[in-house]
Structure 1
Amino acid sequence: MAHIVEVSDADDPRVDDFRDLSRADRRPDRPGGRGLVIAEGVVVVERLLASPYPVRALFGVRRRIDELADALVDLDAPAYVTDADVMAQVVGFHLNRGVLAVADRAPAVDPADLIGRSRNLAVLEGVGDHENLGALFRNAAALGVDGVLLGAGCSDPLYRRSVRVSMGHVLRVPFTSLETWPDGVKLLQDNGFRVAALTPRSDSIPLRAAGLEHGRVAVLLGSEGPGLTDEAIAAADLAVRIPMSGDVDSLNVATAGAIAFHAMNGG
């Protein structure tokens, strides 16, 4: 069972992992920081507790810690209980969700291992917006994607905002980085994957005609603005577009991803 510890002093060093999250230079989940995984809210904290990430501690108001009682039975870590005012002083802002948890990172997944055990994958290039990244992971979890491969220019999926927007699903969808880009696409092809680059180009194949539901398939998705680079599209086996009406020429990358993921699973 988690060790319940009362905290009444905002300067208590035991809650330093949760301190000053509103200041970019102090956030432990920022690049160059301590690299901790931070979960916010009861639902996301529960998913962190059920994930492979080693939980260091929880910090929250009594009501939220009590809501997590069943999930804390097997946890050997402190759960710091405080009031909303002290919590706001520590965190740096008022947290409506009332509870946080921090964890160390799990060991990185080997790309070859993830590819070897998957049937369908999402491959991202230049997805730098943390909210879009989190939404992509939530869509991947909901629509049966086995994992996510990160190409050049992607943000950290374990950034606090990405974890929150994904509703914690980034903690359960396996992901890893491809060390070379776009040459890393060949690793997929060497393992029997057909790689489809999602692009609005008029000469690309309409989604319904692409047959993404057959065999092992990886869908390439590009950045929110320019989309996939010419090099990434050239490395793919085929270019696929989502037909659109009117003057709309593109979709938000998370929305486009959801449509493609649904197609990969026979939707």
Structure 2
Amino acid sequence: MAEIVEITDPADPRLRDYRDLRDVQLRTQVETAHGLFLAEGEKVVRRAAEAGYEARSFLMASRWLDGLASVLTASDAPCYVVSEALAEEVTGFHVHRGALASFHRTPLPSVAEVLDGARTVLVLEDITDHTNVGAALRNAAGLGVDGVLLAPRCADPLYRRAVKVAMGTVFSLPWTRLPDWYDALPSLGAAGFTTVAMALTDDAVDVAEAVAGVDRLALVLGSEGHGLSSRWLETADRHAVIPMTGGVDSLNIAAAAAVACYVARER
């Protein structure tokens, strides 16, 4: 059972996992170096624990202890109980969802493991916004995608903001990073997947047409600013668009992923 420890000093070194959470650059360096990630909110903390991640510690106001009692009972990690004002001082923001937890990261699966038995995968290239990555993973999980592959420069799905937006689905949906960016799409083709790149190109067809009749499908999406790289556009099997009206040419990456995943599910 977790040891309940009351802390009143914001400089207490035991709170180091939770410092300066609004500083993205600092936090990504700290979390990578120490092999940790943070979960925010009762539901997300519970989902991380239920997915088998080992807690390093918990941080919460006393009023949240009852809601996470079963998680705390099953863990040996310390639970630091602080005032809401102290939590805000340490983290740099109002912890309105009440609870935070620091968890140990686990090794990512191989690409082959993510693809094993998968019929539909989402492939993301250079999407650096954590909110968009989290939303894309949540959409993928909810719309029947079997796994997600991320290019090396994509934002970290286990960064707190991404986890929060994904509502913890990042813990249950298989995902990993692609070790070989250059030949990523040809490698998917060799594994039996048809790669359909969402892109505003002259030869792009309606996404419903592009995925029709495809057995194993890889939906490929790039960043909002520059879209997919020329290499990935050249090596994709097909190019597809979401038909738009009103003079709008495209959707936010998370919205586009949702539409594409829904259409893929309907095939």
Give the TM-score normalised by structure 2.
0.92
Contact 1:17/1:28 (CA < 8 Å) preserved in 2? no
Superposition pairs for residues 128-147 of structure 1, below 5 Å?
A: 128-147=128-147
In the alignment, does 2:205 pair up with 1:215? no
Aligned residue pairs, count: 267
The amino acid of 2:56's aligned partner reads: R
In the alignment, does 2:4 pair up with 1:21? no
| Residues 224 and 31 of structure 1: CA distance in aligned 2, closer, same or farther (over 3 Å) | farther
Return the alpha-carbon distance in structure 2 between the equivalents of residues 235 and 89 of structure 1.
Answer: 49
Superposition pairs for residues 42-81 of structure 1, below 5 Å?
A: 42-81=42-81
Per-residue deviation at 1:236?
A: 1.3
Per-residue deviation at 1:102?
A: 0.5
| 1:173 equivalent in structure 2 | 173
In the alignment, does 2:188 pair up with 1:188? yes
In the alignment, does 2:126 pair up with 1:107? no
Contact 2:196/2:211 (CA < 8 Å) preserved in 1? no
Per-residue deviation at 1:26?
A: 4.7
Moved more, 19-28 or 163-172: 19-28
Return the alpha-carbon distance in structure 1 between the equivalents of residues 247 and 63 of structure 2.
Answer: 50
Q: Percent identity?
A: 42
SS, match of residue 27 in structure 2: coil
The amino acid of 1:165's aligned partner reads: V
| 2:250 equivalent in structure 1 | 250
Give the TM-score normalised by structure 1.
0.92
Contact 2:210/2:240 (CA < 8 Å) preserved in 1? yes
Moved more, 32-41 or 74-83: 32-41
Pairwise CA RMSD: 2.0
Per-residue deviation at 1:33?
A: 4.5
Q: Which has the higher helix share?
A: 2
| 2:90 equivalent in structure 1 | 90
Return the alpha-carbon distance in structure 2 between the equivalents of residues 212 and 3 of structure 1.
Answer: 55
Return the alpha-carbon distance in structure 2 between the equivalents of residues 196 and 80 of structure 1.
Answer: 48
In the alignment, does 2:230 pair up with 1:230? yes
Per-residue deviation at 1:196?
A: 0.7
| Residues 228 and 212 of structure 1: CA distance in aligned 2, closer, same or farther (over 3 Å) | farther
Per-residue deviation at 1:14?
A: 2.2
SS, match of residue 38 in structure 1: strand
| 1:11 equivalent in structure 2 | 11
Return the alpha-carbon distance in structure 1 between the equivalents of residues 179 and 48 of structure 2.
Answer: 27
SS, match of residue 260 in structure 1: helix
In the alignment, does 2:199 pair up with 1:205? no
